[in-house]
């Protein structure tokens, strides 16, 4: 009897050790791998982009509850297994990426919280999805559990490139703000947390004093491997209007020694040639006007990086001129709500900046309370010659909305002419909501999730996101800005007035009647 017990205890002990110091427990983690990279890019308007990229590989769990997770976060592995997730993307984004100034985004994310999941076939996908969002909500302290059926869609065109069979679900919460409570669990999933390596720069005080912040994770589950990637992109102002500043001043923290379990630990600096970078990088290569400096933190210890700008950057107005030369992404999309009053419309402008026709998929999920009229859809393209003509989509998929059930989904496949501007328009009427369906700040309006334009980037295109390796074909998603639709709002103080009136009257009547019924009236004779 004693021996098995001891064995169990020993097993538990070794497991705990393995989880705490993975590098010292080679047995269970030989296949596990972790790499950390930081890209620092000087943007054309004088701001700085920091893009953190952490990647983990591990073997697929064979026996769910007893699987030993070394580097990979156990909570994520278990969630993936429990809900049959083969692919999962989650992003929290705040701030708009200004592609006209900053160029190509490091990874496209729409403002708000977005979950995309590929769920295994067979099982009840809706139940799995609901469980998944609730679990993620708990892990990341986010309101993802509010991704109900009303904001869930199953795109058919937009994410076709990532489709591997099974049920694809997409959920978007446009009003979700990114907060430290989302960042903390995200940091805790890193093997060295924020204690060492480039992750030491993850200083919440600095990260949230930003212009753009996107915290994302992606899970990819094969038959035998589990890949988990955590990325964080942030655009911040330079520390001061000074010609020379250090990375430690920018982040408010210094670089630490690389994470001991990391197989790769690097810092990449992309800056104009006029910017001097000290210390000397391990390798540099230039492309166009910008130079890439690469630091390998595993080869040598780098405590700080100092950037010195030449005098030509003194004049801040030159930044704006420089912004005009920033390589623009192939496709840009912006969406606006049109009209006012009880009806309105949506106008999306998609610009093709390339000299070749581009095939894009347009995806827009319109909430049911904006009663969309599919017959009002018009697509007009203005070419480089200024000539405007009707553009016929290659494919139209429209799913009508169900009240309080699902959103209306419009998916189009469009072939955009070269150097063209395409304007999509469709109209809607604003529905009346029950008073209890309004958010607490009803008069602000309802935020409508961004529309998504996805396309595949040609290998020859140089303006590509950081996540996309050069020389390959990548699937790129472009998000429009969210929109605000103001719906007719009732006077919410009315029920309150009615309640107070009724209560007052009740109290008065009840008080008097109660008094009359319970009090005993008697004539007192003065005591002598």
Partner 1 sequence: MSLVLSGQGEKTSPLLRVARKYSAYLSYPLAICGLLWLLALPLSSFSRRAYFSENAMMPGQVYTTFGTQSHMDAMDRVDAELKTKDQAQAVEAVFASIGLDTETQEFTYTKVPRIGKHAGTNVHGILRAPRSDSVEALVIAASWTTANNASNVNAVRLMAGLAQYASEQVYWARDIVFVVTDSGEQGIEEWLRAYQGLTTTSPLFVRSGIIQAALSLELPPAKRYTGLGLYFEGKGGQLANLDYVNMVQYVSRLERMPAYLHGLKDVPRRAHWWTKYTSATQLLLRQVRAQAFGLSTGIHAPFLRYRIDAITLAGLPQPDDPVSAVFAHGLFTDADVPAAPMQRQIGRTIEASFRSLNNLLEHFHQSFFFYMLPANQRYVSIGDYIPAAGLMIASLLLQAMHLWWMQGPDELRSDSPHTRITRINAYYALLRATLPSSVGIIWRVHALGLVLLLIPQLIASSVLTDATTTAYLFTMALASISMVLHTSDIYWTRRIEWQQLKSIVSVYLAVVVACLSVMNFSLAVALFVVAGLPLVFTRVCRVDTRIRRALGVLMLVAVSPVCMMTLGMHVLGCSSNPFRVFLADFYRFGSLVYPLVCLVYWPVNLLCMIIVLIQ
DSSP string over 177-191: PP-HHHHHHHHHTST
Residue carrying the six token digits 């708990």? 138
Q: Quick one: 211 or 464, whose CB is closer to partner 1?
A: 211
Closest CA to 111 of 132, 128, 96, 129: 96
Q: Where in 356-445 does DSSP place strands (E)?
A: 358-366, 370-382, 388-390, 395-399, 408-416, 420-430
Q: Toward partner 1, which CB reaches closer, 213 or 379?
A: 213
DSSP-assigned letter for residue 327: P
Query: For residues 336 and 387, which CB has a smaller minimum distance to partner 1 in the complex?
Result: 336
Distance CA 178, CA 40 (A): 22
- Taking the C-alpha atoms of residue 182 and residue 201, their distance in angstroms, rounded to an integer, is 17
The residues in 167-226 that bind partner 1, with binding defined as CB under 8 A, are 174, 209-213
What is the nearest approach in angstroms of partner 1 to the Cβ of residue 322? 12
What H or E segment, with its residue span, contains residue 236?
A: strand 225-236
Of residues 347, 383, 438, 456, which one binds partner 1 by CB under 8 A?
A: 347
Least Å distance, CB 491 to partner 1, is 9
- Among residues 44, 113, 55, which one has the least CA distance to residue 479? 113
370 binding partner 1? (CB under 8 A): no
Q: Cα separation of 45 and 321, whole Å?
A: 9
Judged by CB under 8 A, the residue of 180, 284, 473, 489 near partner 1 is 489
Long-range contacts of residues 133-136, Cβ cutoff 8 Å, at least 24 apart: 133/171, 135/79, 135/82, 135/83, 136/79, 136/90
Minimum distance, C-beta of residue 252 to partner 1, in the bound complex (Å): 16
Which of 6, 65, 223, 341: binder of partner 1 (CB under 8 A)?
341
Of 241 and 510, which CB lies nearer to partner 1 in the complex structure? 241
Least Å distance, CB 411 to partner 1, is 22
Toward partner 1, which CB reaches closer, 212 or 369? 212
Asked if 481 is part of the footprint of partner 1 (rule: CB under 8 A), the reply reads: yes
Site residue total, partner 1 (CB under 8 A): 42
E strand or H helix at 507, and its extent?
helix 493-518
Does an H or E element contain 206, and which? Answer: helix 204-207
Contacting partner 1 within 280-319 (CB under 8 A): 317, 319
Q: Which is nearer to partner 1, 59 or 174 (CB)?
A: 174
User: By C-beta, is 337 or 377 nearer to partner 1?
Assistant: 337
Residues 104-143 that bind partner 1 (CB under 8 A): 111-112
Q: Tokens standing for 14?
A: 């070794």
CB nearer to partner 1: give 264 or 425.
Answer: 425
The answer to whether 377 contacts partner 1 (rule: CB under 8 A) is no
Edge-first strand order for the sheet with 306-309 is 244-246, 306-309, 275-278
Query: Which residues form the interface with partner 1 (CB under 8 A)?
Result: 45, 94-96, 98, 100, 111-112, 174, 209-213, 317, 319-320, 334, 336-341, 345, 347, 349, 421, 423, 425, 441-445, 447, 481-484, 486, 489
């Amino acid at each position: 009897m004693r021996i098995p017990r001891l064995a169990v205890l020993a097993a538990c002990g070794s497991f705990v050790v393995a989880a705490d110091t993975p590098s010292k427990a080679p047995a269970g983690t030989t296949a596990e791998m972790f790499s950390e990279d930081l890209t620092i890019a000087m943007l054309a308007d004088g701001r700085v982009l920091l893009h953190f990229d952490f990647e983990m590989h591990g073997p697929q769990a064979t026996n769910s509850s007893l699987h030993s997770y070394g580097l990979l976060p156990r909570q994520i592995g278990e969630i993936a297994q429990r809900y049959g997730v083969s692919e999962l993307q989650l992003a929290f984004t705040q701030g708009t990426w200004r592609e006209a100034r900053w160029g190509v985004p490091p990874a496209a994310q729409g403002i708000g919280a977005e979950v995309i999941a590929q769920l295994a076939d067979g099982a009840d996908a809706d139940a799995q999805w609901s469980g998944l969002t609730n679990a993620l909500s708990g892990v990341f302290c986010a309101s993802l559990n509010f991704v109900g059926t009303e904001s869930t869609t199953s795109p058919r065109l937009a994410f076709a490139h990532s489709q591997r069979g099974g049920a694809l679900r997409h959920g978007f919460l446009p009003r979700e703000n990114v907060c430290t409570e989302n960042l903390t669990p995200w940091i805790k999933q890193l093997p060295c947390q924020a204690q060492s390596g480039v992750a030491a720069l993850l200083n919440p005080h600095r990260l949230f004093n930003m212009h753009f912040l996107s915290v994302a994770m992606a899970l990819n589950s094969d038959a035998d491997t589990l890949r988990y990637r955590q990325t964080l992109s942030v655009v911040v102002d330079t520390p001061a209007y000074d010609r020379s500043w250090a990375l430690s001043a920018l982040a408010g923290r210094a670089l630490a020694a690389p994470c001991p379990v990391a197989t790769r630990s690097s810092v990449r600096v992309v800056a104009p040639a006029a910017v001097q970078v000290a210390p000397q990088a391990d390798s540099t290569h230039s492309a166009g006007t910008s130079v890439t400096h690469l630091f390998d933190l595993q080869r040598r210890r780098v405590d700080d990086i100092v950037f010195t700008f030449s005098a030509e950057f003194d004049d801040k107005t030159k930044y704006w001129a420089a912004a005009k030369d920033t390589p623009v992404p192939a496709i840009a999309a912006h969406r606006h709500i049109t009209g006012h009053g009880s009806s309105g419309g949506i106008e999306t402008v998609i610009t093709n900046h390339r000299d070749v026709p581009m095939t894009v998929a347009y995806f827009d999920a319109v909430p049911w309370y904006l009663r969309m009229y599919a017959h009002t859809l018009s697509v007009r393209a203005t070419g480089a010659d200024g000539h405007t003509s009707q553009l016929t989509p290659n494919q139209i998929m429209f799913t009508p909305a169900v009240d309080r059930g699902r959103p209306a989904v419009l998916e189009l496949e469009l072939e955009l002419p070269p150097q063209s501007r395409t304007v999509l328009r469709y109209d809607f009427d604003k529905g009346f909501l029950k008073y209890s369906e309004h958010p607490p700040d009803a008069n602000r309006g309802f935020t409508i999730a961004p529309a998504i334009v996805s396309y595949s980037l040609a290998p020859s295109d140089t303006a590509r996101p950081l996540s996309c390796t050069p020389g390959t074909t990548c699937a790129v998603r472009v998000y429009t800005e969210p929109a605000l639709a103001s719906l007719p709002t009732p006077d919410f103080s009315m029920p309150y007035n009615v309640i107070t009136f009724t209560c007052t009257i009740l109290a008065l009547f009840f008080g008097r009647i109660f008094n009359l019924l319970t009090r005993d009236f008697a004539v007192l004779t003065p005591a002598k």
